[in-house]
Structure 1
Amino acid sequence: MLRLTDLILPLDHTPEALPAAICKRLGIAPGDLLDHAVARRAHDARRKTNIQLVYTVDVRVRDESAVLARLHGDRNLGPTPDTSYKPVAQAPAGSKRPVVIGTGPCGLFAGLILAQMGFRPIILDRGKVVRERTKDTWGLWRRSVLNPESNVQFGEGGAGTFSDGKLYSRIKDPRHLNRKVLTEFVKAGAPPEILTEAHPHIGTFRLVTMVESLRETIEGLGGEYRFQTRVDGIDIATDASGERRVRGLHLHTGDYLEADRVVMAIGHSARDTFAMLQAAGVYVEAKPFSIGVRIEHPQSWIDRARFGPNAGNPILGAAEYHIAHHCRNGRTVYSFCMCPGGTVVAATSEEGRVATNGMSQYSRNERNANSGFVVAIDPARDYPGDPLAGIAFQRHWESLAFVAGGSNYKAPAQRVGDFLAGRPSEALGSIVPSYRPGVTPTDLAQCLPDFAVEAMREAIPVFGRQIAGYDHPDVVMTGVETRTSSPVRFTRGADFQSLNTAGLFPAGEGAGYAGGILSAAVDGIKVAEAVALSLAA
């Protein structure tokens, strides 16, 4: 088959227009086009009154070699790439069982790949199965009751389960591992269109059932899950040559689990585990992340700003945005994890703290759009010294947000008009915040660093010139957003093992090597392959 890229058609084109455009582009008669399939569809909305669809299609033609020869040099035409996944190894008879810590996207795909290669992984998670975890999460949202071991951050599916479910990233992927992830998601119940849409998403409710299906697949291949099992210690031996190597894990139950291959896919909020690993001498360094708030606008405003008269077109769906501004104080303010038609959610995992995140369902049909509105921070400048100082930085502002919200897990919130004027909000306006268990109007400057407040006040009018209504006085800001990414990196070598601890494979977002569902899942595949090769050698 041939792959044809950058095929442009009007938003309202008829079904017949696509094969006609293929034939015209290839210079062939309709009878010479034997078959075609959409590999990818995106939209170009730079001109709101003339939005176009951009296709990548795979085609079968009567004389492929003649078409390739005639269009030689056309960068938009070539053979269809082989995107099928090819395992790198198969488990030898009697091979040791690797252990995966964490069942977020990274741990889930590390476990899946290891199981598919016959290694029968043991998969640990400190939280609960996804259905029980969902009940505990709703307990915080509806009753202000936090379970520190079962919440938005901890439990089956990881933090990505309670998110917009975005399935795209900017990672370089020459092996098409992202295709492997999407294909497995479809097998697990995701809508098939995630294979072709340029910016696919799933949403929380669908992710729950998919996570369950993937668990069944792993268990059917010999994998073993152990939920409500926290790793409280790591057993590391040093041999005569001075090499440190993992021997096993100490579990919170008092049990000891022998293991010499451990995938550490613990997510960006396992702060106690970060401290345990540092105390055990595992190499760790500080990493940049960001701090800010969640900002909410009516989704209809974003649709009109992005799509103009085409707002509401079902092909386009709910509009997104990505914006950034470099401020006079040297800081960068940007949108993060934008959730069209979604809600702001309570995302703390520690008592006495407030942290926010965004979530959408597959339909993206809630009233408001929300996005992180955050300021980039840097370890050397903002929390130097201890590699774990970023965690203390996060906790400080989350604790202040808890107090500002009323010390009951309500979140502090403020109208944009009041924030820009430097005065506390005494009430909110026409835009109703979606955060549960509720918000307290106040002054967000009391729970954000001064440099962040200064930068955000500069950026809001700038963004208002890019997106109509962004700086409307009644727009709601809810604080604080601190979990944009891991504040640490457990640095690894080319073999994907810790720089100073053989057999320990730091992986995914918590280890500082991913950002989002897709990139974390792809990293899980790469790490699983490294584990498999080390066991099969």
Structure 2
Amino acid sequence: MLRLNEIKLPLDHAETAFVDAILQRLGINSDELIGYTIARRSADARQRGAITLIYSLDVEIRNEAALLQRLQGIPHIVPTPDTSYRFVAHAATSESRRPVVVGTGPCGIFAALVLAQMGFRPIILERGKAVRERTKDTWGLWRNGKLDPESNVQFGEGGAGTFSDGKLYSQIKDPQHYGRKVLNEFIKAGAPPEILYVSKPHIGTFKLVTIVEHMRATIEALGGEFRFGNKVDDIEIEHGRVRGLTVNNGTQIDAQHVVLAIGHSARDTFQMLFDRGVYIEAKPFSIGFRIEHPQSLIDRARYGAHAGNAILGAADYKLVHHCRNGRAVYSFCMCPGGTVVAATSEPGRVVTNGMSQYSRNERNANSGIVVGITPDDYPGDALAGIAFQRHWEERAFELGGHNYNAPAQLVGDFIATRASTQLGTVEPSYKPGVSLGALDSSLPAYAIDAIREALPAFERQIKGYSMHDAILTGVETRTSSPIRIKRNETYQSLNTQGLYPAGEGAGYAGGILSAAVDGIKVAEAVALDMLRGMQAATATQDAP
């Protein structure tokens, strides 16, 4: 097949426009065209009055080789890349060892899935509950202010990504098309097929719940074993190699290959690993607030008269501002037509995040507005960033009223440095609720100053962005892991053989797609190491 890139069509084009564009681009007759599929669709909205859809099409034609030779050198016509996934190993029928995957976020699920597909029958440990039970507990916090520290937005089957916008795009380099494997597996589990070709695919929370359940069933059918309510309390390391794990019910598990996919909020596990001498270092992350506007305002600013168009959907944005104090402020995890959610996992602390359903039809748009920080801002040992996060989460809990309400302030009041006393036209979506006031003491002064400077600057890019009635809700502290569990070229810990730090919690991903891709890579590394071990054992037995 051939891939035709940069096919530009108007927003209201007819279905026949694809065939017309193909015939014109290739210079062929209609009887030479066998068929086509859409490989990618994006929108160029730089001119709001003339929004253009840009397609890549995979085209099947007769006499392809001859046509390729004739069109050689013409831009935007290439052979369709081979994106099929090939397993790197298969477990021997005599293989009795079982790898252990810790965590069932996107990284852990895909590590377990690929290991299971290769025949290695992984054991999967999850400190939280199965996804539907976890959903009930999460709503318990949102509706009743009741937190379960082991079953919430951060902990439980599906990971933090389950309660998000379900974004499935990333800026990672992916020459081996692991991302395609991820999307195909999601589709097999019930995701809409359009995620294969839209430029910014997403699923949404409700669909993710069912998808996660279907993926679990697939893993179990292939010999994988899920153990919920199993938090890893200790790790046995002997002569620099993993030998086993101890979980919270006292069970000891022999394990020589452990995929550590624990997410960015497993602070107690980070502490245990640090205490056991696993190499960990501090890394940069970001802190800030959630900001909410009417979604209609963002739609008009981005799409003009085309706001509300079904193909375009709810508009998003990506903003960055470099401040006078040397800080960078940027939008993070923007959720069109979504809600701001309570995302704490620890009692006495308030954390915010954003979430959307597949429809993205809630009244508000929300995004993190965050400031980049580095370990220089929280000097100390490798875990100093955790103490830094906890401090500001506790402060948010105090400002919110000690009941998991979040502190909030109108943007106009924040810019004018006065406390807010009543809401305007934008109703905050955060549950259990918000407590209006001043946010100046909810983050370090340098972060407050930077955000206060950035908001009017963002107004120049999106008209209405600094509107008085827009809402800031605090605090957003868990943009990424505050640590990195460093690994070598075989994906194992620098100083602990058999331990495979993976995904966002280990500092190697940021979002569903990149975490899932990392899970696949780590699963491959585990499989190859187990295969080498089996071959070495066989060679020893066969030796005279």
| TM-score range relative to shorter protein | over 0.9
Spell out, residue by residue over 1:170-227, the C-alpha distance to the aligned partner (whole angstroms, 9 max, x if none).
0111111100000000000001111111110000000000000000000000000000
Cα distance in structure 1, aligned partners of 2:203 and 2:496: 37
Match of 1:26 in 2: 26
- Structure 1 counterpart SS, 2:341: strand
Gaps of 5+ in 1: 239-243
- Structure 2 counterpart SS, 1:445: coil
**Cα distance, 1:446 vs. partner?**
1.2
- Of 372, 375, 380, which aligns to 1:376? 372
Q: Could you tell me the TM-score, scaled by structure 2's length?
A: 0.97
Deviates more, 1:57-66 or 1:318-327: 57-66
Cα distance in structure 2, aligned partners of 1:367 and 1:226: 39
Gaps of 5+ in 2: 533-544
Match of 1:177 in 2: 178
Match of 1:167 in 2: 168
- Structure 2 counterpart SS, 1:149: coil
Spell out, residue by residue over 1:102-123, the C-alpha distance to the aligned partner (whole angstroms, 9 max, x if none).
0000000000000000000000
**Cα distance, 1:331 vs. partner?**
0.2
Match of 1:293 in 2: 289
Match of 2:389 in 1: 394
Match of 1:256 in 2: 252
Match of 1:83 in 2: 83
Match of 1:241 in 2: none
Structure 2 counterpart of 1:371, one-letter code: S
Cα distance in structure 2, aligned partners of 1:402 and 1:18: 55
Aligned alpha-carbon RMSD (Å): 0.6
Structure 2 counterpart of 1:315, one-letter code: I
Match of 2:465 in 1: 470
**Cα distance, 1:400 vs. partner?**
0.2
Count of residue pairs brought into register by the alignment: 531
Match of 1:11 in 2: 11
Q: Could you tell me the TM-score, scaled by structure 1's length?
A: 0.98
Task: Note if 1:236 corresponds to 2:237.
Answer: yes
Match of 2:536 in 1: none
Spell out, residue by residue over 1:295-320, the C-alpha distance to the aligned partner (whole angstroms, 9 max, x if none).
00000000000001111100000000
Cα distance in structure 1, aligned partners of 2:173 and 2:379: 31
Task: Note if 1:52 corresponds to 2:47.
Answer: no
- Structure 2 counterpart SS, 1:444: coil
Task: Note if 1:335 corresponds to 2:336.
Answer: no
Deviates more, 1:28-37 or 1:362-371: 28-37
**Cα distance, 1:70 vs. partner?**
1.7
Structure 1 counterpart of 2:298, one-letter code: I
Cα distance in structure 1, aligned partners of 2:66 and 2:84: 27
Cα distance in structure 2, aligned partners of 1:256 and 1:302: 53
- Structure 2 counterpart SS, 1:534: helix
Structure 2 counterpart of 1:316, one-letter code: L
Structure 2 counterpart of 1:308, one-letter code: G
Structure 2 counterpart of 1:46, one-letter code: R
**Cα distance, 1:523 vs. partner?**
0.3
**Cα distance, 1:65 vs. partner?**
1.7
Spell out, residue by residue over 1:345-392, the C-alpha distance to the aligned partner (whole angstroms, 9 max, x if none).
00000000000000000000000000000000011x201221100000
Structure 1 counterpart of 2:272, one-letter code: M
Cα distance in structure 1, aligned partners of 2:444 and 2:423: 23
Q: Give identity over the alignment, percent.
A: 68
Task: Note if 1:485 corresponds to 2:480.
Answer: yes
Structure 2 counterpart of 1:248, one-letter code: G
Q: How does 1:121-520 map onto structure 2 within 5 Å?
A: 121-238=122-239, 244-379=240-375, 381-520=376-515
Match of 1:61 in 2: 61
**Cα distance, 1:75 vs. partner?**
3.5
Cα distance in structure 2, aligned partners of 1:53 and 1:536: 47
Cα distance in structure 2, aligned partners of 1:157 and 1:75: 42
Deviates more, 1:30-39 or 1:327-336: 30-39
Spell out, residue by residue over 1:371-417, the C-alpha distance to the aligned partner (whole angstroms, 9 max, x if none).
000000011x2012211000000000000000000000000000011
Cα distance in structure 1, aligned partners of 2:380 and 2:65: 62
**Cα distance, 1:86 vs. partner?**
0.3
**Cα distance, 1:31 vs. partner?**
1.6
**Cα distance, 1:81 vs. partner?**
1.0
Cα distance in structure 2, aligned partners of 1:92 and 1:365: 50
- Structure 2 counterpart SS, 1:502: coil
Structure 2 counterpart of 1:289, one-letter code: F
Structure 2 counterpart of 1:434, one-letter code: S
**Cα distance, 1:94 vs. partner?**
3.0
Match of 2:117 in 1: 116
**Cα distance, 1:255 vs. partner?**
1.2
Match of 2:539 in 1: none
- Structure 2 counterpart SS, 1:435: coil
Cα distance in structure 1, aligned partners of 2:304 and 2:413: 29
Structure 2 counterpart of 1:215, one-letter code: R
Cα distance in structure 1, aligned partners of 2:291 and 2:113: 36
Structure 1 counterpart of 2:367, one-letter code: S
Match of 2:540 in 1: none
**Cα distance, 1:93 vs. partner?**
2.8
Cα distance in structure 1, aligned partners of 2:482 and 2:400: 24
Cα distance in structure 2, aligned partners of 1:296 and 1:439: 13
Structure 2 counterpart of 1:48, one-letter code: R
**Cα distance, 1:73 vs. partner?**
1.3
